[in-house]
Amino acid sequence: MVGAKALYTAQLAVNSQIGSPRGLPQFAHDGWRLAPSDVPLSPPTWGSQQREANMTTIDIPRNTIIHGDCVQVLPQLQAGSVDFALTDPPYLARYKSRDGRGVPNDDNDRWLNPAFAALYRVLAPDSFAVSFYGWPRADRFMAAYRAAGFRVVGHFVCPKRYTSSAAFVSYRHECAHLLAKGEPAKPQRPIADVLPWDYTANKLHPTQKPLSTLKPLVLAFSRPGGLVLDPFAGSGSSLLAAQQLGRNWLGVELDAGYHAIASTRLAVAGAA
């Protein structure tokens, strides 16, 4: 891991071009940025085996966050090279926080099927993914997982000690699916499907997930030294959980501001 100080200095020039993310200091862009002109391949035609066979892929990078669209980035990475995916895609909810922050791609599902197909491809045979989701759109998420080839083998609930919103009920939980590619081994001591939840105050991202929820998932479904992927990295919470538990990590984030926040967060934590 490059020292945080060196990273700040080397990347100040890059950051001055992308601007300061929502008032945070400008530093720690990690240089991995797949702008459209850098992308060597057109996005694949989904379901076209011929196109897939013709693709050139690159060795998977580690311990970095790629600035780009995971629908375009993941097909360029070596198939079968990720040990576990822990992700939190947009919930298709048009969410706006009280201070007006939104989540890119939360207003459309065009990315949903291609993203899960691409995620399936980069996962190792017989491995797991955990994906948070918004329950009002459960049908669309289920359809996307199954179209990609995943089996839904578990469901996690995270009860909150506070109410996020209220209408017909007081909404006080988050949820996630456990997805299997192939036939991963069953754990000797399965973890509970009810997970802790601590309020993050959403300081770094409007839907920032707590480390106390993410760490038990990393521990249960990946091994030390394995590679944990989050294709919807946001502020990098799942990657930080992986880093703190001695895993390699790889993120993809579409939004330049959140990408910079996550890169800074991981660099500072890694240098500490």
Ligand X SMILES: C[S@@+](CC[C@H](N)C(=O)[O-])C[C@H]1O[C@@H](n2cnc3c(N)ncnc32)[C@H](O)[C@@H]1O
Binding to ligand X by residue 252, rule CB under 6 A? yes
Q: Which is nearer to ligand X, 182 or 200 (CB)?
A: 200
Count of residues binding ligand X (CB under 6 A)? 24
Which residues between 32 and 61 bind ligand X (CB under 6 A)?
A: none
Q: Which is nearer to ligand X, 160 or 184 (CB)?
A: 160
For the record, the structure tokens of 71 come out as 């629908």
- Report the C-alpha gap between 15 and 18 in whole angstroms: 5
Binding to ligand X by CB under 6 A, coded x per residue (else -) over 138-177, reads ----------------------------------------
| Candidate list 103, 176, 218, 266; residue touching ligand X; CB under 6 A | 103
Binding to ligand X by residue 253, rule CB under 6 A? yes
| Candidate list 92, 255, 260, 267; residue touching ligand X; CB under 6 A | 255
- Specify whether the CB–CB gap between 194 and 156 falls below 8 A: yes
For the record, the structure tokens of 147 come out as 């179209």
Helices and strands of the chain, counted as H and E runs:
8, 9
Which residues between 215 and 244 bind ligand X (CB under 6 A)?
A: 231-232, 234-235, 237
Binding to ligand X by residue 4, rule CB under 6 A? no
CB of 4 to ligand X, least distance (A): 20
Give the amino acid at 80: G
| Candidate list 30, 69, 83, 174; residue touching ligand X; CB under 6 A | 69
Binding to ligand X by CB under 6 A, coded x per residue (else -) over 190-209, reads ---------------x-xxx
Q: Which is nearer to ligand X, 209 or 247 (CB)?
A: 209
Give the amino acid at 180: A
Q: What is the CA radius of gyration of the chain?
A: 18
- Report the C-alpha gap between 15 and 32 in whole angstroms: 12
Sequence-separated (6 or more) residues with CB below 8 Å from residue 245 = 215, 218, 219, 224
For the record, the structure tokens of 253 come out as 């984030």
- List the Cα angle 98/231/46 in 5-degree steps: 120
Q: Which is nearer to ligand X, 27 or 111 (CB)?
A: 111
Instruction: Give the DSSP per-residue string, 121-135.
Output: HHEEEEEEEEEEE-G
- Specify whether the CB–CB gap between 70 and 110 falls below 8 A: no
Binding to ligand X by residue 248, rule CB under 6 A? no
Q: Under the rule (CB under 6 A), what is the footprint of ligand X?
A: 69-71, 88-90, 103-105, 111, 205, 207-209, 231-232, 234-235, 237, 252-255, 258
